[in-house]
Amino acid sequence: MNQQAALQGSPLKGIKVVEFEGIGPGPLAGLLLMQLGAEVTLVARPGPGALPKDMTPREDGLLSRGKRRVVLNLKEDHGRAHALEIVAASDGLIEGNRPGVMERLGLGPGACAPLNPRLVYGRMTGWGQDGPLAQAAGHDMNYVALTGLMALTQRPGHPPMLPPTVLGDAAGALGFALGMVSGLLAARSSGQGCVVDGAIVDVLAMLSPLVQIISAAGGFDPGVPSVFHDSPFYDRYLCADGRYITVGAIEPPFYALLLQRLGLTDVVLSDQMNRSAWPTLKARMTALFASQPSAHWTQLLEGTDACYAPVLNMTEAAVHPHNVARGLYRVTPEGDVETVRGLRFLALTDRATAV
């Protein structure tokens, strides 16, 4: 087996993770680790899940597929004993219950540590293991709101918005997966496991430094027009076919190319950050983009340094040439769009070939 074949998508090959059934970010973190090569055993509850029926993932759905599924009643001695046997043979554990639930079941870190001192015990929650909100219910939108990130999307006359389950749950799962891998690396070298407190609010705070830097420089001062909300060169625009496109030409050379491609050659480049001139230019660009269908602007701007992308739905994203070339998605026979893989890994000696 050559180096590339050995690397193929499996840097965590040989790592065993037990995932106690949950919703949202916990199962996604399990999928992310599995995509990196880990072997994941899903301990499922008997009976229906916690979500409404029309939101309950299928047993063979993307978040569960490829995981070894074991149905156990953790409130019974036999089920609990079987679960502890799986824990004893695992490198990592994922659970997403409220603080104290696993302890009451006899499956908390204190019960698991004597059986497996190298265990990395991952706790995926919204609010964390402690703090005033630790025992409160919450969902994606609540966590994003509390961290200050949701307010960044608010514009005059428009409420704050965010894509459902992406910024909170999915970003939380990604940060939690990083924590699990970090714990696994530490356990491998030290022989000592740890508890990973994977609070979504903590992960979102980790994502905030870029925003904090911009805010400290005055980029989000109340009452001052913002590049991200008010400028003509960073916005989404409605086209003649009712579709939206986006431009984000912040850097002066990219801004110059955008104006040149749009035929706005009379605009003074050095006035890019003249906020008093923004409303007039934005009105011109709004009318210009509305004069042609989105396909026209895609042909003119996509792939250039004008910082352009059309706003696609999930089905369209699955067949976009760039995403197809990178092998990001597949469409099931039922028409569902699914992400195919996680990160790619390249052989160090052959940077041109992805594996």
Active site residues: 139, 169
Tokens 């022989």 sit on residue:
191
Handedness of CA 95, 99, 101, 104 (dihedral sign): positive
Query: Alpha-carbon distance 327 to 338, whole Å?
Result: 11
Closest to 255 measured CA to CA, from 240, 276, 270:
270
CA distance 200 to 179: 12
Counting Cβ atoms within 10 Å, is residue 260 exposed (0-12), middle (13-18) or buried (19+)?
A: middle
Report CA-CA distances (Å) from 42 to 16, 26, 27, 285: 11, 11, 9, 52
151 vs 148: CA distance, rounded Å: 6
Q: What whole-number distance in Å separates Cα of residue 171 and Cα of residue 176?
A: 8
Backbone angles phi, psi at 167, to 5 degrees: -70, -35
Burial 143-159 (b: 16+ CB within 10 A, else e): bbebbebbebeeeeeee
Whole-angstrom distance, CA of residue 257 vs CA of residue 260:
5
Q: Return phi, psi of residue 39, to 5°.
A: -95, 120
Q: Which of 180, 267, 266 has its CA nearest to residue 232? A: 267
